[in-house]
Amino acid sequence: MKVKIQSYRDLIFLGEIMLSETTIDNYIETIPPVPKVVKLCIDSLNNGDLVHAADIASEDRAFMHYLQNIVNKPIFGFRDEVKEARQIFGILGLSKAKQLIYGYYLLLILPKKWEVFDFNTSLFQDFQARLIHHWGKIVKFLGKDDNSLNQAISIIPATFVISEMLFRDINSTVKLLRDKKQMSYETIFYKMTDRTFFEISAMIAKKWDFSDDIVEMINKIGDLKEGDFGENALLISYLRLLLVYEMSRPAIIKAGLSDLFHLEPVFDDDILNNFYKIIQEEED
């Protein structure tokens, strides 16, 4: 992650992109509070009431448009178009419904126009839908079908948004460093914040009131150290594989987002075989 400084000019460039901890916190604080409709739906789902949650959602036109758009994407595999709120929630079930509700919240903080990364709302929703669907299957396969664990996957797309915001104000300098110094977004990100992508993700998870265990798990995704990751070791291994898999898709590479972090998955034959069985079952 270290950058070789060859001249005084390099120091000027790097000095221009350094952000204080307060500035980083301020960027994260710009994430708006969870909307009322989202809170009410989550409360209903926490009480196991899918019907009431669906009825709340049906009263918000923008929310319903989002749910219909996401659920009818090919990755979910429904042959007929799903339109009604109760039908959507009934098909999804409690856990996946919660994931999509957090996904709607993410949609509200998306930039209207991406300036740093070659991305847009449609591509973001495709990525989000795939990530939510795959992760839900993996968590269920591992026998850890926990609501907060399912919802935690939303932190990764949220960090894309924060990355866009962090780079945007100094985009010309970022472009110069990439063009002239061949620095990756990953390196520039670290030089800006003194943190990795996943350390910023963990900060977002903490702001969203995820448990300490979830915050720690997110923080360790990009840990380069060999060794035991504790009781979340298996989850982290599968999550790394999922991110490597999804970040290698052409649209993500073209957008430049795959350059934000580099992961070396734990190449265990059993884990790899199980992972690809899960993915193939979803995509066949």
The reported pLDDT for the residue numbered 12 is 39
The reported pLDDT for the residue numbered 232 is 80
Does 27 or 141 have the greater pLDDT score? 141
Pairwise CA distance, residues 49 & 62, whole Å: 22
pLDDT tens per residue across span 156-212 = 998 999 899 888 888 888 888 888 888 899 998 888 888 899 999 998 888 878 889
Does 164 or 10 have the greater pLDDT score? 164
Helix (H) / strand (E) containing 108: helix 85-108
- In terms of Cα–Cα distance, which of 192, 132, 142, 183 is closest to 165? 192
Pairwise CA distance, residues 63 & 126, whole Å: 17
Can you tell me the mean pLDDT for 258-264? 90
Pairwise CA distance, residues 72 & 90, whole Å: 14
pTM, 2 dp: 0.78
Pairwise CA distance, residues 199 & 212, whole Å: 13
Point out the least confidently predicted range of 75-89, 99-113, 126-140, 262-276: 99-113
- Report which residue type is found at 140: K
Pairwise CA distance, residues 2 & 183, whole Å: 10
Does 19 or 39 have the greater pLDDT score? 39
CB neighbours of residue 204 within 10 Å: 20
> Is 228 a residue whose pLDDT tops 80?
no
Distances in Å between the Cα of 64 and the Cα atoms of 75, 84, 104, 124, 220 are 19, 9, 10, 18, 35
